[in-house]
Amino acid sequence: MGSLQMISRQQLSHSLRGQSLVIPDLRTLFDHWPQGVNPEVERLREDVESRLEMLFPGSERLRKMKAADFGLLSASWWPYADYEALWISTYFLLWLFAWDDETDSPEYSEEVANVEKGALFRTETIQYFRQCLAEDVDSLTFETASNIITNFKPVGEAVSRSCTPAQRESFLNELVYFVRMTKVEQRFQCSKEFPTVEEYLDCRLGTSAVGSCLAMTEYCYDMEIPPPIMHESDMRTLLDETNRVISICNDMLSLNKELAQKQVDSLIPLLYIRHGSLPAAFDNAVETVKCSIQAVDSSSQKLLARYSQDPVVYDKLQKFICGCKYACTANVNWSLSTARYGLEPQDMRAGIKLTL
Residues 256 and 151: their CA atoms lie apart, in Å, by: 30
| Residue 120 contacts residue 114 (beta carbons within 8 Å) | no
| AA identity, residue 316 | K
Q: Of 131, 348, 332, give the one whose Cα is nearest residue 245.
A: 332
Convert the pLDDT of each residue in 16-57 to its tens digit: 988 988 888 899 999 999 999 999 999 999 999 999 999 888
Residues 6+ apart with CB under 8 A from 237: 295, 296, 298, 299
Q: Give the separation between CA 222 and CA 89, rounded to whole angstroms.
A: 13
pLDDT score at 338 = 84
| Residue 5 pLDDT greater than 50, yes or no | no
Q: Which domains does the chain have, with CATH numbers?
A: 4-355 (1.10.600.10)
- Contact in structure between 162 and 89 (CB atoms under 8 Å): no
More confident residue, 198 or 58: 198
Contact between 45 and 71 (Cβ < 8 Å): yes
Q: How confident is the model at residue 136 (pLDDT cuts 50, 70, 90)?
A: low
Number of neighbouring beta carbons within 10 Å of residue 325: 21
Instruction: Express each pLDDT in 288-342 by its tens digit.
Output: 999 999 999 999 999 999 999 999 999 999 999 999 999 999 999 999 888 788 7
What pTM value is reported for the model? Answer: 0.93
Give strand ranges (E) for the chain. 20-23, 352-355
Question: What percent of the chain stands above pLDDT 90?
Answer: 67
Q: Residue 1 — pLDDT band, cuts 50, 70, 90?
A: very low
Higher pLDDT, 349 or 142: 349
Angle at 192 between CA 187 and CA 198, to 5 degrees: 60
Measure the CA–CA gap between 194 and 204, rounded to whole angstroms. 14
